């Protein structure tokens, strides 16, 4: 006798509930210590005005198809040209490609660009979107302990020592979204150069916040090498939507021809492409906004690290509480006090490291941070 329809799904959800891991959608409420709108651009009047002006000149809301059919719009092409120049620098001769989300961009890139015989060396705390690309990739992969440059070097030497002849890839985030710490990019860049490896850096949480003009942490190291690919999401500090892959021109051409996540997806909204162009201009001129944000980050470190939060100098300050139930109970108690702080549980983070992900955004002031510290001390 067969089971009732969806019986396994109901059982799976019940198991999640028993372990304190059942997720549910909830409305935004309270002071924002949860979003990735680091600079507060999502409600910036300049971006709203850019949308109005684009609509007035006839830019459509929807693309109407994939980029390879009728979905390609001049706004997509203009954004990609501007993004290549913005993130690549004056000596850069590569290209950019605009995709609907950072998840799509990472998974499409890793599923498509590495070839059979290549090998992908990945930080063990890399985002789920990269793991999706690894699952679909024809290349093998190795998980390397977090931020362990020597571990990457040893893994590369072991792979080459087994008579491997393909191209190695080193894949990291510049700023890790759940731990708030930074990758040792200078050392990893030198390692990639020494081993003839391609360096792929997910700048999702650094774009807009770090680097010259908000170009990301890799840009802070100087002119980018020809062996680098970066991902810049547009829906975090840039305040809009979509993602940009920036790399050698062959990357763009190959993805256009081979990436199923690009070929078979309806193109992003041309209106969003137009507003992202304005967001890049806004970002470059936002040094004062970045300085103000980082000053509040430093204040948050002072206020929250005595309570157990980890502060690495980024807007993300995790407070690891261990148990799933405890993390969610503390998050709920803070929400009831008017602070939008979210609990993060496995599998998003490793087992036994359920946490609060406290984020300093453009929507909170120093007094909000002080109030959160007081409430957190009471709840803990």
Residues 6+ apart with CB under 8 A from 296: 360, 364, 365, 366, 369
pLDDT digits (tens, 9 = 90+) for 246-276: 999 999 999 999 999 999 999 999 999 999 9
Confidence of residue 218 (pLDDT cuts 50, 70, 90): very high
- The predicted pLDDT at position 141 comes to 98
Let me know if domain 28-43+286-379 sits in CATH 3.90.1150.10: yes
CA 331 to chain centre: 23
Overall average pLDDT of the 113-142 stretch: 97
The proportion of the chain whose per-residue pLDDT surpasses 90, expressed as a percent, equals 92
Phi, psi of 246 (to 5 degrees): -125, 125
**Higher local confidence (pLDDT), 174 or 224:** 174
pLDDT digits (tens, 9 = 90+) for 192-212: 999 999 999 999 999 999 999
Reference 237, options 361, 345, 370; nearest CA is: 361
Beta-bridged to residue 97, according to DSSP, are 245
Cβ(296)–Cβ(360) under 8 Å? Answer: yes
Angle at 97 between CA 91 and CA 98, to 5 degrees: 130
pLDDT digits (tens, 9 = 90+) for 283-321: 999 999 999 999 999 999 999 999 999 999 999 999 999
What are the residue ranges of CATH 3.40.640.10 in the chain?
Answer: 59-284
Burial of 45 (0-12, 13-18, 19+ CB in 10 A): exposed
- Find the range with the poorest average confidence among 44-53, 85-94, 360-369: 85-94
pLDDT digits (tens, 9 = 90+) for 315-341: 999 999 999 999 999 999 999 999 999
| pLDDT above 80: residue 1 | no
Overall average pLDDT of the 136-160 stretch: 97
297 vs 369: CA distance, rounded Å: 9
| pLDDT above 80: residue 2 | no
What are the residue ranges of CATH 3.90.1150.10 in the chain?
Answer: 28-43+286-379
pLDDT digits (tens, 9 = 90+) for 20-37: 888 988 888 899 999 999
The helix-helix angle for 149-161 and 185-195 (nearest 10°) equals 10
| pLDDT above 90: residue 45 | yes
Confidence of residue 224 (pLDDT cuts 50, 70, 90): confident
| Domain 59-284 class in CATH | alpha beta
Cβ(319)–Cβ(358) under 8 Å? Answer: yes
Angle at 327 between CA 372 and CA 296, to 5 degrees: 30
Catalytic residue positions, numbered: 36, 127, 173, 177, 202, 205, 236
Overall average pLDDT of the 137-147 stretch: 97
């Amino acid at each position: 006798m067969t089971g009732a329809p969806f019986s396994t799904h109901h059982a799976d959800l019940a198991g999640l509930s028993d372990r304190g891991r059942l997720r549910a959608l909830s409305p935004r409420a309270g002071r924002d210590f949860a979003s990735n709108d680091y600079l507060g651009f999502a409600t910036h009047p300049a971006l709203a005005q850019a949308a109005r002006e684009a609509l007035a000149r006839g830019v459509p809301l929807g693309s109407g198809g994939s980029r390879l059919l009728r979905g390609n719009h001049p706004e997509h092409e203009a954004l990609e040209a501007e993004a290549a120049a913005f993130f690549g620098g004056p000596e850069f001769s590569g290209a950019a490609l605009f995709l609907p989300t950072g998840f799509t961009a990472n998974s499409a890139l890793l599923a498509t660009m590495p070839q059979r015989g290549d090998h992908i060396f990945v930080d063990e705390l890399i985002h789920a979107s990269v793991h999706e690309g690894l699952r679909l990739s024809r290349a093998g992969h190795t998980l390397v302990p977090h931020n362990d440059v020597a571990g990457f070097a040893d893994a590369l030497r072991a792979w080459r020592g087994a008579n491997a002849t393909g191209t190695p890839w080193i894949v990291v985030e510049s700023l890790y979204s759940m731990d708030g710490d930074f990758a040792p990019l200078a050392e990893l860049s030198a390692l990639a150069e020494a081993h003839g490896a391609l360096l792929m850096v997910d700048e999702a949480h650094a774009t807009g916040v770090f680097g010259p003009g908000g170009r990301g942490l890799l840009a802070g190291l100087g002119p980018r090498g020809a062996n680098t690919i970066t991902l810049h999401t547009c829906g975090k500090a840039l305040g809009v939507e979509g993602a940009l892959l920036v790399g050698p021109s062959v990357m763009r051409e190959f993805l256009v021809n081979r990436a199923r996540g690009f070929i078979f997806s309806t193109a992003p909204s041309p209106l969003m492409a137009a507003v992202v162009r304005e967001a890049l201009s806004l970002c470059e001129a936002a040094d004062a906004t970045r300085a103000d944000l980082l000053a509040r980050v430093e204040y948050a470190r002072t206020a929250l690290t005595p309570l157990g939060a980890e502060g690495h100098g980024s807007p993300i300050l995790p407070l690891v509480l261990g148990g799933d139930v405890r993390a969610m109970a503390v998050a709920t108690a803070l929400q009831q006090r008017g602070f939008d702080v979210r609990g993060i549980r496995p599998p998003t983070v490793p087992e036994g490291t359920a946490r609060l992900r406290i984020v300093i955004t453009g929507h909170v002031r120093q007094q909000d941070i002080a109030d959160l510290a007081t409430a957190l001390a009471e709840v803990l």
